[in-house]
């Protein structure tokens, strides 16, 4: 929402919309020596909605990533900074360090553990102390990848724990999510990617200062992506995603269907 004028209550529910988005970016291997790489990346993303343009969103992203390979062990340590604009207002800046490590077992299995430590600084003044969303955020995700057909196909099964330590009581929560993803090349050079996730619970620590009830959410999401490289470096993909959020507070319940087409070029 455009933070300086709009409120959640001002938006109508069950409203369809179309938006266009564009992302441009690049990276450079600053150091590439044996088992070690140091890479710098930068990108900018902008979305434009045709009707609800209070949701127009822009984000600049810069990242420095260390990578170390030793045998079957791979260690990545990305550090990043993001700055976001909602409509025309400065919205959010975030700094994060997101290390992850993977280890291969034979040719059909590898394990991965990801951590993310992020601090979110919301740039608009909150309406009350309880509504202050500035927060330290922690996420932990152990995952297992099952590899098939000489690594051409894989199945991912993961568990995600998230804890948000906000300065305002209304945004202090912990959540647990399980997920799965299947990557499967099809025919005529078409690749498919199926995803599913279920948020078991997302429990807020304190009673909501506005509604007067302690919030407890759950949710599910299902998606499919079909992609094909048309020319060297140029890929077209279509996608569909269904999301459903459930809560003990009806105000926070929703269903969302999203479908789209993406054109991407990289070299």
Residues 199 and 70 in one domain: no
Residues 264 and 162 in one domain: yes
Residues 130 and 59 in one domain: no
pLDDT band of residue 199 (cuts 50, 70, 90) is very high
Query: By residue range, what is the domain housing residue 238?
Result: 126-267
pLDDT at 140 exceeding the cut of 70: yes
Q: What is the pLDDT of residues 161-196, one digit of tens each?
A: 999 999 999 999 999 999 999 999 999 899 999 999
Q: Is residue 100 part of a domain?
A: no
Q: Is residue 112 part of a domain?
A: no
Which residues does 249 contact at the CB level (< 8 Å), separation at least 6? 208, 211, 213, 215
Residues 36 and 159 in one domain: no
Tokens of 30: 């600053």
Mean pLDDT of 30-37: 92
pLDDT at 1 exceeding the cut of 80: no
Q: Is residue 77 part of a domain?
A: yes
Q: What is the pLDDT of residues 38-89, one digit of tens each?
A: 999 999 999 998 888 888 999 999 999 999 999 899 999 999 999 999 988 9
Provide DSSP, the chain. Answer: --TTT--GGGSPSS----EEEEEEEEEEEEEEETTEEEEEEEEEEEEEESS-GGG-EEEEEEEEEEEEEETTEEEEEEEEEEEEEETTEEEEEEEEE--EEEEEETTTEEEEEEEEEEEEEE-SPPSSGGG---EEEEEEEEEEEEEETTTTEEEEEEEEEEEEEESSGGG-EEEEEEEEEEEEE-STTEEEEEEEEEEEEEEEEEE-TTT-SEEEEEEEEEEEEEEEEEETTEEEEEEEEEEEEEESSGGG-EEEEEEEEEEEE--
pLDDT at 3 exceeding the cut of 50: no
Q: Is residue 16 part of a domain?
A: yes
Residues 56 and 130 in one domain: no
* pTM for the full predicted model: 0.87
């Amino acid at each position: 929402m455009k933070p300086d004028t709009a409120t959640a209550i001002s938006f109508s529910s069950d409203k369809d919309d179309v938006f266009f988005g564009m992302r441009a970016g690049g990276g450079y291997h600053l150091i590439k020596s044996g088992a070690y790489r140091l890479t710098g990346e930068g990108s900018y993303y902008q979305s434009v909605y045709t009707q609800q343009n209070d949701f127009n969103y822009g984000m600049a992203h810069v990242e420095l990533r260390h990578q170390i390979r030793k045998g079957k062990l791979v260690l990545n340590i990305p550090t990043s900074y993001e700055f976001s604009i909602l409509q025309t207002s400065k919205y959010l800046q975030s700094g994060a360090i997101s290390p992850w490590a993977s280890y291969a077992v034979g040719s059909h299995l590898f394990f991965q553990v990801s951590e993310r430590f992020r601090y979110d600084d919301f740039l608009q003044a909150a309406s009350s102390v309880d509504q202050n969303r500035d927060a330290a955020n922690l996420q932990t995700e152990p995952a297992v990848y099952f590899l098939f057909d000489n690594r051409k196909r894989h199945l991912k099964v993961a568990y995600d724990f998230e804890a948000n330590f906000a300065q305002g009581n209304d945004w202090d929560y912990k959540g647990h999510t399980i997920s799965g993803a299947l990557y499967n090349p099809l025919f005529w050079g078409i690749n498919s990617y199926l995803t599913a996730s279920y948020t078991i619970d997302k429990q807020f620590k304190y009673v909501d200062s506005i509604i007067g009830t302690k919030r407890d959410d759950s949710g599910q999401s299902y998606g499919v992506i079909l992609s094909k490289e048309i020319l060297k470096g140029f890929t077209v993909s279509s996608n569909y995603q269904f999301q459903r959020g459930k809560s003990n507070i009806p105000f926070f319940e929703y269903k969302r269907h999203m479908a789209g087409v993406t054109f991407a070029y990289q070299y």
